[in-house]
Structures are given as structure tokens and as C-alpha cells.
Structure 1
């Protein structure tokens, strides 16, 4: 099986940290591919499209060398890209879909981004002092103690592959406007959410569960970056959900 991992707003492959290797260790017969959204990671010099559909099309250009069918683990805005992908996929293109702390136009704006978060996110994205910006992003997205080594690692990522303010705003606009089609793209998908998420309300995932009868698992206190806060829990939920695991 070939897993594609997609991150969220202004984040890239480096922000998965040890999670990707932990997933590989838990599923040694599978292959894990870290794919960057346009405007981030190895594509940080590219312009990000202003729609989720446009971002999805750019992602598809990166995965032509990967054998099908794909399975996807996607976080936050990456989940929107994955959902849009699933709704436009060719027969047999996608096998499994795991969406983590994502949202969609099916939920009201105050659940898609909690009240008070919009101005804080905009201030963070516009902040020029990179170390403190990355530290503050970690403190917003994680509910665990943030070690100095992690702040330095994320600071190093931004120094090497900086995301422009222009691309951050384009991604933010794409996420805010996104609304999926009404039809379910597959019979089941795994929805993982955190009750402690201070950015996206976990009920956004519950809305997808209710609408399409998908599988929902909710962590009681982890933050928005669930793979960072509770990687073992995430991997356990994936393995228990997969048939034959």
C-alpha cells in the first residue's frame, strides 16, 4: 500500500517530524510518501492556487510516479485537499482516506475556525521574527509541552524553505471558501479529531460522520496537531480501522 501524507496551512513535509517514520515502522510492508502543497516545502518558491481544487491539481502533478491505488493521511487543510481529491478521483485511484482535524463548508464558520483564532492566525503569518512565530504556532496547535528543540527544528524549516505571506493568504482563502460536493466519495473513511483542538472544532469531523456514515474517533485532549501530540494514538486508530490489520 502507498500512503500519501498531506499537511495543512503553511506546513510542509518537515513538520511531520517523527510521525512518518513511526507510521513506516507500524506498517513495514507499506510505503509512505510525504507530499508538499504548492507554496510549501520543496515547492516554496511556487505560487499557491487560491482554491482547494487548484491545490489538489498541483498535488496530483507530484504523484504520477507513485503506484496506484493511493491511501491518504491528511491533516487540517490537507484534509480538504484529500477530500476534494477523493470526490474527483478516477475509479480505483484511492484506497483509504484518513482525515485529521479537518473542516469543510458543511460546518458553520465559527466551528471551522474557532472565534478569536482568525486574527491570531493572521498576526502569526505576518510576523517577521521566525523563531517566535514558529514557537507561537506550536503553542497554538499543540496541547503538549513544546520543547526548545522542536521550536528550533521548525525555525530551521522556515529558514530553509520559507512560506511567503502571499502564499499563506492564498491558502487561507482557499480553505475558507472550500465546500465539498454533497455525495460521499467512498463508502467509509476514518475521521480523527481532538476535543482539545483550539483551531477547528471537533464537530466539523462529526458533521462528516453524520452526513456520510464514516468512522469517527475523537481524542479527549490533544491539540490541532494530533500527529504531533499523540502519534501512537493516531497510528493505532488507523491500524484498527484498516481491514485485515
Structure 2
């Protein structure tokens, strides 16, 4: 089924950038040989750290479309999106379904489907604010890593890389707050986008309750696969598992996506 995929667009979440995918793009390309994998940054993050983050998911989506216009012009893309990035993907599919061939949404949540205490676990409210506003990049990135990863090996080396990313492309606190505002108030579309969708969730997600993905699957009648050990950053913790589930979905003709 891999020959049907031309381009993967990978979208990350709150304050994260393309380098936080680590080696997942390479794993994806091995699973789907001959495909293009692009990892555009959302406004305010990574290569766009000097851009003011919009306070709405829709405006983030419009920025993204303009940023990768040449890729979109080549034909419909396949999307893998994590957390807030999945909200951007949903808005994209809702508004421009002809540009989206299929989408894999990982550990996301939507207002109108999940209560606020499932969308962000209450025990992490203080840590989330600290991770967004702390001036010390070491402490900030360590907090984020503790909240988002459960089983990644060599966390000390990973943390060093994340601190480097944060210091090279610093996310402004005001931008982080705008992104949080956009994600918190993004409401589920009334109707599921007319695009094949697979949900992936982490049972032990310490940031977003996995019930959020289950509720979305029930409301939109979507297929869902659940990892029992990984954290919120599922592609980081077990990228091979993610690729296997996507490959299986394609092999079964995107079964259960409509």
C-alpha cells in the first residue's frame, strides 16, 4: 500500500518543532519507501520562532497551508499529527478535504467531545504553565520530557538535544500562551471531516487522558489503536509501533475510517 502514499506531512504540538520528531521521519520512510516526509513548523515554533503564534487553530492551519503550498499543489497529502498538531489537521481536513488523502491523529482532544479535565490532566496544570513560561531551558525541557515520555531510552542525551533546540529556536512565552489558548478553545466540528482517519492513543499518557481519543473514536466512528506503555509523545516512545499500525491500516484499505 505504500506506493499510494506520495507525501507525509508531520505536525507537532504545543511549543514543539520539527527536530522533536527525532528519528521518526526516517522510520516512516523505511516503512513507506519512496515517499516524501516533510515536518513543517507551526507559527511561533522552530524555523518560525520569530513569527507571532495565532490564537486560533484555524489561523495556524492557514499559515501552514501557505508555508507548504508547493507541496499541496503536487496532490493530496497524508498527515500524521500529534496533540495540538492534530487539531490543526482536523481544521485542515474540515476546510480543505480535497488536499488531505488520509490522516493519523495521535493523542489529541477536542472541546465539545472531551471535558477539560480529560483534555489536560489537572495534576499537570502547574507543570504545563511552568513548561510554557520558565526562563530556564534545562528545567523547562526536563519538565516537558517527564510529562510526555514514558519509555524512551537514553533520556539524558535526548534532554541535551531538546535544551539545544530550545536555546537555538526559543519559543516566546507570549507565543506559548497563544498556542495554549488556541488549543484549549478549539471546538470539534459538528461533522467528521470527509477524510479517512486513524486514531492512535497512549493508555499511560500523563498529559492528556486517553479517554479523549476513545471519545473521539466513538463520536466519529473511527478506528483506534492504543499503546499500553508509551507516553503522550507516542512517535518518540515507540515510533516503530506507530509505523506498524499505520501500515496495517493501509493494508486493510483504511478500514473503519468512514
Q: TM-score category by the smaller chain? A: over 0.9
Q: Is the 8 A contact 1:73 1:97 kept in 2?
A: yes
TM-fit CA distance, 1:148: 1.4
Which residue is equivalent to 2:3?
none
In structure 2, the residue matched to 1:104 is 110
- Please name the residue that 1:62 is paired with: 67
**1:38–1:55 Cα contact (<8 Å) kept:** yes
- The answer on 1:93 being equivalent to 2:105 is no
How far apart are residue 25 of structure 1 and its match? 1.5
Show CA shifts across 1:168-188 (max 9, x none). 000000000000211111253
Partner of 2:134: 127
Q: Look up the match of 1:163.
A: 171
Find the aligned partners of 1:146 and 1:76 in 2 and give their Cα distance.
23
What RMSD in Å do the two structures reach over aligned CA positions? 1.3
Q: Which of 22, 31, 36 matches 1:17?
A: 22
Instruction: Tell me how far 1:207 sits from its aligned partner.
Output: 1.3
Q: What is the deviation of 1:195?
A: 0.6
Q: What is the TM-score with the length of structure 2 in the denominator? A: 0.91
Question: Would you say how many aligned residue pairs link Structure 1 and Structure 2?
Answer: 244
Matches within 5 A, 1:63-212: 63-66=68-71, 67-90=74-97, 92-105=98-111, 106-144=113-151, 145=153, 147-186=155-194, 188-212=196-220
Alpha-carbon separation, structure 1, partners of 2:133 and 2:88: 24
Q: Structure 1 residue 50 and structure 2 residue 60: aligned?
A: no
Q: Which moved more, 1:146-155 or 1:80-89?
A: 146-155
CA contact (8 A) 1:188 1:215 kept: no
Query: After the TM superposition, which segments of 4 or more aligned residues of structure 1 sit over 3 Å from their partners?
Result: none
Structure 1: runs of 5 or more not aligned: none
CA drift at 1:243? 4.1
Mapped contact 2:101–2:195 kept (Cα < 8 A): no
Partner SS, residue 226 of structure 2:
strand
- Give, in whole Å, the separation in 2 of the partners of 1:58 and 1:193: 27
TM-aligned CA deviation for residue 28 of structure 1? 1.1
Query: Deviations 1:134-187 (Å, cap 9, x if unpaired)?
Result: 122111110125521111110111111110000000000000000021111125
> How far apart are 1:6 and its partner, in Å?
0.3
Q: Is the 8 A contact 1:187 1:214 kept in 2?
A: no
**Cα distance change, pair 119–37 in 1 and its aligned pair in 2 (3 A):** same
